[in-house]
Amino acid sequence: MKHYTNPDTTIWHGRVSNKYLYLHEKVRCIPLSEISEPPKKSIALLGYACDEGVKRNQGRIGAVKGPKTIKNSLAKFPNHLANTVLLHDTGAIVCKNGDMEAAQKELSKAVTILLEKKQFPIVLGGGHDMTYGHYNGIKTYLDSKKNKQTIGIINFDAHFDLRQNTNGNNSGTPFYQIAMESKKEDNTFNYLCLGIRKDANDRTLFEAAKELDVKYVLSDTFQMQFLDEINTWINAFIKTVDKVYVTIDLDGFSSAYAPGVSAPSPMGFTPEIVLECLKTTIGSGKLISLDIAEMNPKFDIDGQTAKLAASLLHHIIHTIY
C-alpha closest to that of 285 among 233, 240, 243, 236 = 243
Find out whether 80 is annotated in a ligand binding site.
no
Find out whether 199 is annotated in a ligand binding site.
no
C-alpha closest to that of 272 among 236, 315, 239, 232 = 315
Residues in CB range of 143: below 8 A, 6 or more apart = none
Find out whether 157 is annotated in a ligand binding site.
yes
Find out whether 228 is annotated in a ligand binding site.
no
Q: Classify burial at 147, counting beta carbons within 10 Å of its beta carbon; exposed 0-12, middle 13-18, buried 19 or more.
A: exposed
Find out whether 249 is annotated in a ligand binding site.
yes
CA dihedral 153, 141, 33, 42 (to 10 degrees): 60
Would you list which residues are annotated within the binding site? 128, 157, 159, 161, 249, 251
Would you list which residues are annotated within the binding site for Mn(2+)? 128, 157, 159, 161, 249, 251
